[in-house]
Amino acid sequence: MRCLWLWLLPLPCAGLLCPSTCAAQDGTPWPCRFPSCQLPVTHNPARGTPQDINVVVLSPYSGELGDLMTTAEPLLEMALQEIENSTLLPGYRLNVLLADSKCTREDATAAAVEAFYSGDPKHAILGDACSDGCEAVSDVSRFFKVLQVSPGCGSTSLSERSRYPYLARLAPSDRFKLQAIFEVMKMFSFKRVSLMYQSNENLALFQDLVQRDVEAGYAWITLLTERIVSISDAERATAAIQTRDSRITVLSLNEEAGAMLLCQAYLKGMVSPDFVWLLSSGNWGQNFPERANHPHINCTAPQLLAAARGLIAAELGPMLQSSSVHGLSGRPLADIHSQYAAQCQSFGNGTGRCNFIWTPYFYDGLWQLANVFHSHLSASSQLTGDAAQEALYNISLQQDYLGLSGQVRYFDSEAMHKVGAGDRDGTILLRQVVGPLGDEFQELAYWTGQGITWKADIVWGDQRVACSGGSCNLTGAVVPLDRGTCAAGRIFVDALGCQACPTGRFEEAGQCVNCPAGSFAASPGLASCEPCPAGSAVNFAGAEVCEVCTEGHYQNETGALSCLRCPVSFYGPSRSLPSCLPCPEGKTTAYEGAIDVQMCTCNGDIFEGVCISCSDDFRFVEGQCIACVEGLRCRTGETPR
Ligand SMILES: *[C@@H]1O[C@H](CO)[C@@H](O)[C@H](O)[C@H]1NC(C)=O
Ligand SMILES: *[C@@H]1O[C@H](CO)[C@@H](O)[C@H](O)[C@H]1NC(C)=O
Ligand SMILES: *[C@@H]1O[C@H](CO)[C@@H](O)[C@H](O)[C@H]1NC(C)=O
Ligand SMILES: *[C@@H]1O[C@H](CO)[C@@H](O)[C@H](O)[C@H]1NC(C)=O
Ligand SMILES: *[C@@H]1O[C@H](CO)[C@@H](O)[C@H](O)[C@H]1NC(C)=O
Ligand SMILES: *[C@@H]1O[C@H](CO)[C@@H](O)[C@H](O)[C@H]1NC(C)=O
């Protein structure tokens, strides 16, 4: 075994390319199916003495995705034998070597390089399943100038032709999963949405799809885009979701970050049907609440499940099981499906794990490699090298067949639908969390570029939308809304949620309007204004406070527009009076609006201590007011009667 140094990356001296123990359904280790890391094949005598085409299948037996390879092996074995038995590749024989990428860049690089430098020459890679690994494997395949087809890898950055010039992937990129989620949201006319994401790539993708729709006239309102990597992020984000009244949230989060968010949502009582969660990427598996049950996430698995109930997740394509025939192998899809179901389970003495979501790409991938080589070899005998790699890639992009994972058809231009080169059209599986712990996800629908085929009813809390007939019956269906109803005194603002009406205004029929003159609103969030109390008044609309009556003024009524002057023989000695005080007995004022008792005077004559004031045309004579009649001497200016 050689130790290699490639691009200054120290590589471990690996032994076998694949492990000796593989995982059963419950994770128990069992001896792997193929301890030699080579798929067995019963030779087809018709091939005579063929030339070898050696394919390295590189995907994880361990790591982030778990033991994916063990679940895929039955389909690889099946496809390899079918290819051997077929008339494809006359004069050649496909051999398959199994290697563990462990789902990391370093391990995938090491395993790929190890595979190429040991044993017979290799001619193609079917790998990796994780995006990091795919990037690494793509570099290795360029270095060795061989054909690469990947059975996984959702990252949209892999669509960049200049960076990954020869990558044809079978798993749809995250863009298609998000597109499926957008289609579901649009079906329910959701407009106000938020995104919780981990990578900037997912944020950019979300913004790109929003912009695409906005330009086409669909008025998305993006309320929040929050990056979730810690519990405090999750706490802050869920609080913001409440403040902004964001009901529809797209999650581009892995299981752990998703659990952080859902736990906080659970603690705040944010559950279905009031809140709708849509998972666009992250590969959450069955049993995710248990696996995400991290010591520092304060929720139990049942609590996480309660928060996740109703969540709709876009996943890789499902393994189809119709009676249609596989475009390359010629077998009915249902046959392949049922043979796989039996073989995946038989591992570990009947405790094997099956995976009906991811593994179809392995079957399609091996067949596609065979088909591409077949087309290529009819015109050339070069299996590797610059020209062969480019020619093989060109043929890959022309593939168009019904696969076990749906229609396989490549987009060959970055301009086409703004998707990258090497991305395929295909089927996206939509699942919904409706089941018990350990069996949370139920198949909900299949999405393709042509639309959505529904398989089950959508269930959000106590609301159910009838969809099992293939399409959803929205007539009369009660569906969640993308906004709540506001309490009295609060109005709805699209971008902000329920907002309290400010001071001076009150809420009327969903609008904040000015308090009418004579009334006021001293605090925000009022459903009605208060009339000005007696002793105060205001003569304009929109008052936060009423103006108190000044000295010499009063107001005995509430809700008044203005204060009144104290009448004659009254005075107002202080502010905000509901009534004026009368002048002391025997005194009066000569005018309105007196402010002081001193202003109460006798404006007539004092007779035995009493103030007597005679009105016009009368005159005071010894305590009496006498009419000024003809013959008497009236005061100056008086007109005698
Ligand atoms: C391949 O051919 C052999 C010999 O004809 C046969 O026994 C076997 O069942 C075939 N396998 C498949 C998968 O077609
Ligand atoms: C988890 O719960 C413990 C005990 O109730 C509490 O002290 C701690 O702050 C909680 N952590 C989080 C992240 O909520
Ligand atoms: C496999 O299952 C059979 C029948 O249930 C049992 O007798 C046998 O001991 C099992 N083998 C192992 C290794 O557990
Ligand atoms: C592959 O396709 C590209 C773009 O269509 C073309 O320029 C190139 O000549 C092709 N290469 C081969 C080897 O067919
Ligand atoms: C759709 O639902 C409505 C209300 O429940 C019902 O009246 C109608 O018949 C349904 N339409 C179909 C096509 O099932
Ligand atoms: C206020 O004064 C006016 C005039 O004197 C009177 O008609 C009215 O009833 C009074 N209102 C109250 C509430 O006392």
Write out pLDDT tens, residues 202-256.
999 999 999 999 999 999 999 999 999 999 999 999 999 999 999 999 999 999 9
Most confident of 4-8, 556-560, 618-622: 556-560
State if residue 391 touches ligand 4 by the CB under 6 angstroms criterion: yes
Report the C-alpha gap between 385 and 562 in whole angstroms: 95
Flag whether pLDDT at 344 surpasses 90: yes
Find the 299 Cα to ligand 2 centroid distance in Å: 10
Pocket test of ligand 2: the residue of 233, 268, 298 to mutate, having most ligand atoms within 8 Å of its CB, is 298
Q: Provide mean pLDDT across the span 395-403.
A: 94
- Beta carbons within 8 Å of 319's beta carbon, 6+ residues apart: 333, 336, 337, 340, 356, 357, 359, 360, 404, 405
203 exposed, middle or buried (CB, 10 Å; 0-12, 13-18, 19+)? middle
Q: How confident is the model at residue 635 (pLDDT cuts 50, 70, 90)?
A: low
Average pLDDT over residues 510-517: 96
Structure confidence by residue, pLDDT tens digits, 461-491: 999 999 988 999 999 888 999 998 899 999 9
Query: Residue 297 pLDDT > 80, yes or no?
Result: yes
Mean pLDDT of all residues in 354-374? 97
pTM greater than the 0.75 cutoff? yes
Supply the residue whose CA is at minimum distance from atom 6 of ligand 6. 556
pLDDT surpassing 60 at residue 180: yes
Please indicate whether residue 90 or residue 159 has the higher confidence score (pLDDT): 90
Half-sphere exposure at residue 353, Cβ-oriented, CA atoms within 13 angstroms: 25
**Which range has the worst mean pLDDT, 135-139, 254-258, 409-413?**
409-413
Atom number of ligand 6 nearest to Cα 556: 1
Cβ pair 578, 549 in contact under 8 A: no
Q: How far is CA 102 from CA 127, 129, 472, 492, in A?
A: 12, 10, 41, 50
> Are the CB atoms for 368 and 395 separated by under 8 Å?
no
Residue 191 confidence (pLDDT) above 80: yes
* Residue range 259-279, pLDDT digits in tens: 999 999 999 999 999 999 999
Q: Kindly give the distance from the C-alpha atom of residue 277 to the centroid of ligand 5, in angstroms, as a whole number.
A: 26
Burial 454-486 (b: 16+ CB within 10 A, else e): bbebbbbeeeebebeeeebeeeeeebbbbbeeb
> What is the spatial distance between Cα 447 and Cα 426, in angstroms, rounded to a whole number?
8
pLDDT of residue 636: 53
pLDDT at 511 > cutoff 90? yes
Identify the pLDDT of residue 7: 42
Peptide bond into 172 cis (omega under 30): no
**pLDDT higher than 50, residue 415:** no
Is 191:221 a contact under the CB 8 Å cutoff? Answer: yes
pLDDT of 633 higher than 90: no
- Which pLDDT band holds residue 623 (cuts at 50, 70, 90)? confident
What gap in Å lies between CA 522 and CA 546, rounded to an integer? Answer: 9
Q: Which atom of ligand 4 is nearest to the CA of 412?
A: 5
Nearest 5°: phi and psi at 325? -100, 135
Nearest CA to ligand 4 atom 6: 394
Tell me, in angstroms, the distance from the centre of ligand 4 to residue 499's CA.
59
Number of helical H runs and strand E runs in the chain = 12, 38
Q: Is the pLDDT of residue 101 over 60?
A: yes
Nearest residue by C-alpha to atom 4 in ligand 2: 298
Q: Residue 350: nearest ligand to its CA? A: 3
pLDDT for 268: 97
Please name which ligand lies nearest the alpha carbon of 471: 5
Predicted local distance difference test score (pLDDT) of residue 360: 97
Compute the average pLDDT of residues 305-309: 96
**CA–CA separation, 403 and 494 (whole Å):** 44
pLDDT per residue as tens digits for the range 20-41? 999 999 889 999 999 999 999 9
Stated as kind and residue range, the H or E segment containing 390 is: helix 386-397
Ligand 1 geometric centre to CA of 147 (Å): 28
The phi and psi torsions of 618 (rounded to 5 degrees) equal -120, 155
Residue 427, CA distances (Å) to 171, 370, 506 in order: 9, 22, 52
Q: Which of 224-233, 280-289, 349-358 has the lowest mean pLDDT?
A: 280-289
Give percent of the chain above pLDDT 90: 75
Residue 603 phi/psi, 5-degree rounding, is -100, 30
- pLDDT at 413 (0 to 100): 54
556 CB within 6 A, ligand 6: yes
pLDDT band at 164 (very low <50, low <70, confident <90, very high): confident
Pairing of strands 124-127, 618-621: unpaired
146, two tokens: 């061989």
